[in-house]
Amino acid sequence: MKMEEYTIRKAIGSDLDAIMEIETDSFTVNNDNFSKRELKYLIEKSKVGCFVLEMGGEVLAYTSLLARANASNLRIYSLAVHSKARGKKLGEALLKFGIQYAKENGFASATLEVKVNNKPAISLYQKNGFETFSIKENYYHDGSNAFCMRRMME
């Protein structure tokens, strides 16, 4: 069976509602979701920006990438796949896109935070070369801790 084609592209203002839906669908249950205002900033104003994965004309996943001026580290600030599209390697495709972006743009490393009980995400990150280097306590709204993970770019 042929896999349906997807494309990954830079998000623009008109993607806000689709990204908001993925964000709400993924994180609201724990109150960890970005507000529409925060997402608008991440799409339109943040350095690097957001990227969406689109399949069949529908935005199914997004990632937010951040970097400070002259920084050698790229921060993967958010990554989420709509629940109806999980388990099809779309999250992995977007993560690999972020890693490729870091390599192509001369970043020495990429980092991210992940909730310590988020097994699917931790597994995804480990599979793609990320290792835990510290723990941030009380990082999330429900009081749970975050693993800080890093991947060096060779």
Ligand X SMILES: CC(C)(COP(=O)(O)OP(=O)(O)OC[C@H]1O[C@@H](n2cnc3c(N)ncnc32)[C@H](O)[C@@H]1OP(=O)(O)O)[C@@H](O)C(=O)NCCC(=O)NCCS
Positions that interact with ligand X (CB under 6 A): 26, 79-81, 86-92, 114, 118-121, 123-124, 127
Shortest Cβ distance from residue 60 to ligand X (Å)? 9
**CB nearer to ligand X: pick between 74 and 124:** 124
Closest CA to 94 of 19, 27, 37, 17: 19
Positive or negative, the Cα torsion across 122, 91, 35, 67? positive
**CB nearer to ligand X: pick between 42 and 121:** 121
Shortest Cβ distance from residue 40 to ligand X (Å)? 20
Shortest Cβ distance from residue 70 to ligand X (Å)? 26
**CB nearer to ligand X: pick between 33 and 153:** 33
**CB nearer to ligand X: pick between 56 and 106:** 56
Residues 6+ apart with CB under 8 A from 28: none
Shortest Cβ distance from residue 63 to ligand X (Å)? 9
Beta bridge partners of 62: 52, 80
**Closest CB to ligand X belongs to which residue?**
91
Positive or negative, the Cα torsion across 89, 127, 122, 53? negative
Residues 6+ apart with CB under 8 A from 92: 124, 127, 128
